[in-house]
Amino acid sequence: MANEKDNDKQGSNGSRQMKMKELSDITGVNGPTIRYYITQGILPKPYKTHKNMAYYEESYVELIAVIKKFQKEYFLPLDVIKNAIEELGHDKVPYMINELTEKLLQAKQLDWMEPAAVNKLVKPVSRKELMEITKISKKDLDATLKMGMIIQDENKCFNVQDVKIAMMISEIRENLSDEKGFSIDFVTMHNDFIKEIVDTQFKFFLARILKGELAINDANDLAFKCIEILYRLFPVVHKRYLNMKIKESLHIE
């Protein structure tokens, strides 16, 4: 019996296997999110010994690290990461990071706008699943729905962009909580700023297209190149102005 129990905790290649809690503790990613990655095909299905018992090989730790890397460093949507991982194969990804990086960056450069079809590549999730995966509170979810930051489809489900936004809002609220005097209005304020910026950007390019100063294809190319740079510029400038304001307010030299 002891040997049989030990065998359950070893993969086909002899690697150690772990339960969901251990995998979650090691990677810093909660169980519902890991299960979401599995249902979407971003992670392979685990080895199941029972209907409610599954074991995960050490390769899952490396795969999750890769997913987090490309989400946080390159701001890539899950569907793009999924397609690249599937093309290489789950088992090859930990050994082909450079190749995967190249594929993902090439995919990102196809267009400055995310194609509408992108959301069809990933299964929508229900309200309950969204809250379980992202840990967003009911209050914050309702507020983001009202402001239009998160959008329900006709079946009252949410796409990959909604999942990503909800995850980041949850991360923000871990620090800027109601208990510390911050409400969801802090996020609403930034959402309004972004909408205003997008309106201005759109009018800027549209005006030149309507005047015949810019062809649509050229506008798309310029938008891609410039907006990608602006995405990198904004955080740097924002931090500079914020530091200046803090020093000015606190009279720090």
21: its two tokens: 């809690």
Residue whose token pair is 């810019």: 214
CA distance 244 to 236: 12
Q: Which CATH architecture has domain 124-214?
A: Orthogonal Bundle (1.10)
Max CA separation in the chain (angstroms): 79
Contact 106, 62 (CB under 8 A): no
Helix-helix angle 78-88:59-74, to 10 degrees: 140
Question: Which residues sit opposite 18 in a β-bridge?
Answer: 56
Q: Taking the domains of the chain in order of start, what are their residue ranges?
A: 2-118, 124-214
Say whether pTM exceeds 0.75: no
CATH class for the region spanning 2-118? mainly alpha
- The pLDDT of residue 210 is 73
- The pLDDT of residue 75 is 66
Answer yes or no: same fold for 2-118 and 124-214: yes
Tens of pLDDT, residue by residue over 145-174, are 999 999 998 889 998 888 888 988 998 998
Contact 77, 164 (CB under 8 A): yes
Instruction: Decide if pLDDT at 25 tops 80.
Output: yes
Tens of pLDDT, residue by residue over 190-213, are 999 888 888 887 788 777 777 778
- The pLDDT of residue 121 is 43
